[in-house]
Amino acid sequence: MRAFVLERYGRRQALTLSDVPVPPLHDDEVLVEVHAASVNVLDAKIRHGEFKAILPYRLPTALGHDVAGVVCRVGPAARGFREGDEVYARVDDLRIGTFAEFVPVKASSLALKPRGISMERAASVPLVGLTAWQALVEKARLRSGQSVFIQAGSGGVGTLAIQLAQQLGATVATTASAASTALLKELGADTVIDYRSQDFEDLLRDQDVVLHSQDATALEKSLRVLRPGGQLISISGPPDPAFARDIGAPWFMRWAMRGLSAGVRRRARARSVDYSFLFMRPSGEQLRHLATLIEAGAIRPVVDRVFDFEATNEALAYVDGGRAKGKVVIKVR
């Protein structure tokens, strides 16, 4: 099969289009014929080598975490799927490789594709949709009447998280450029703060939840816009001891992560705020919940651009440049 392969780490390292064997299928997996794959910031960070310590990939390896396609083979222990099913997934860490013609996926990480949308739109959902679900539903337990501040509203996570928070009945504030205001209001944002001319710390107070995805300066400001008892959930770090435990990190990495997050955890405690780090995990069950919302029209995937398979490196560069509104998708088949 053809696949875009990372041969060595580096910020300017292009992926190589190669002919490689179809990966072996584990008993609990299904083989998916890839029709579309979306590009995430995580793909760029793995290419840069930023996750070598916690995701030790053996190079060369194909990149890509999100997939929409058709089941073409079912492992003997895989349940719930049959050949010909249209499906979507965020594949498991260390089994990535959706920038390819075929990819094996654990049945537990897979769900039927939402009806009524294209493969390209379905492929845009899994990683960002699961991130939004696990942050707002699972961690924050966001409920009607609460307030949530979602940073970078026009990004992939932001566009899904705004819609999910609105469906949960929360009041939603976000940051974006002025050019994105109309889109984000349409998606359900109550307040859109122009990050180029306004400081969210001057405009927000007593938020119940902050979904943080930006830099350390925004992290510190986020502590100050939360009410006592509020929750700061970060998807951009620093990682905390709970995350180290969840991934079974060795002792030296647990010690390092404890040290990296010690300052923000201390300042959060001083303000009676809870800090936690989220690195989303695959979940077929949660994708089924998201599919129900998409089919009902409660959530719509936002796609910025669709690239041909041969232009995968251009798609990755576009995402790495931070210019995308919503998701960037590769049409494989």
SS3 233: strand
Q: If you average pLDDT over residues 82-91, what whole number do you get? A: 98
My answer on whether 140 and 262 are in the same domain is yes
**Residue 285 counted as domain residue:** no
CB 79 within 8 A of CB 106: no
**Residue 253 counted as domain residue:** yes
My answer on whether 135 and 268 are in the same domain is yes
- pLDDT at residue number 256: 87
> Residue 35 forms beta bridges with which residues?
none
What is the identity of the amino acid at 128? Answer: V
Q: If you average pLDDT over residues 35-46, what whole number do you get? A: 96
- pLDDT at residue number 249: 81
118: Cβ contacts below 8 Å, ≥ 6 apart: 36
SS3 10: coil
Structure tokens at 262: 């010690």
CB 85 within 8 A of CB 114: no
Confidence of residue 47 (pLDDT cuts 50, 70, 90): very high
- pLDDT at residue number 53: 80
**Residue 293 counted as domain residue:** no
Give pLDDT tens digits for 303-330. 999 999 999 999 999 999 888 899 999 9
Pairing of strands 29-39, 327-331: antiparallel
Cα of first residue to Cα of last residue in the chain, in angstroms, is: 12
Give pLDDT tens digits for 94-109. 999 999 999 999 999 9
**Residue 287 counted as domain residue:** no
- pLDDT at residue number 175: 98
SS3 129: helix
Domain count for the chain, please give it. Answer: 2
Question: Whose CA is closest to 75, among 25, 8, 114?
Answer: 25
At residue 17, does pLDDT exceed 90? yes
**Residue 113 counted as domain residue:** yes
The enclosing domain of 54 has a CATH number of: 3.90.180.10
In DSSP notation, 69-91 reads EEEEEE-TT--S--TT-EEEEEP
Give pLDDT tens digits for 21-40. 999 999 999 999 999 999 99
CB 108 within 8 A of CB 28: yes
**Is-above-0.95 flag for pTM?**
yes
CB 311 within 8 A of CB 328: no
Instruction: Determine the distance from the C-alpha atom of residue 221 to the mean position of all C-alpha atoms in its chain, rounded to a whole number.
Output: 23
- pLDDT at residue number 252: 83
**Residue 289 counted as domain residue:** no
My answer on whether 29 and 151 are in the same domain is no
Structure tokens at 64: 């890509």
C-alpha–C-alpha distance, residues 241 and 276, integer Å: 9
My answer on whether 233 and 142 are in the same domain is yes
The enclosing domain of 151 has a CATH number of: 3.40.50.720
Domain of 171? 127-277
At residue 54, does pLDDT exceed 90? no
**Residue 206 counted as domain residue:** yes
Give pLDDT tens digits for 244-280. 888 888 888 889 889 989 999 999 999 999 999 999 9
Q: What's the mean per-residue pLDDT of the chain?
A: 96
Confidence of residue 52 (pLDDT cuts 50, 70, 90): confident
- pLDDT at residue number 63: 97
C-alpha–C-alpha distance, residues 101 and 94, integer Å: 18
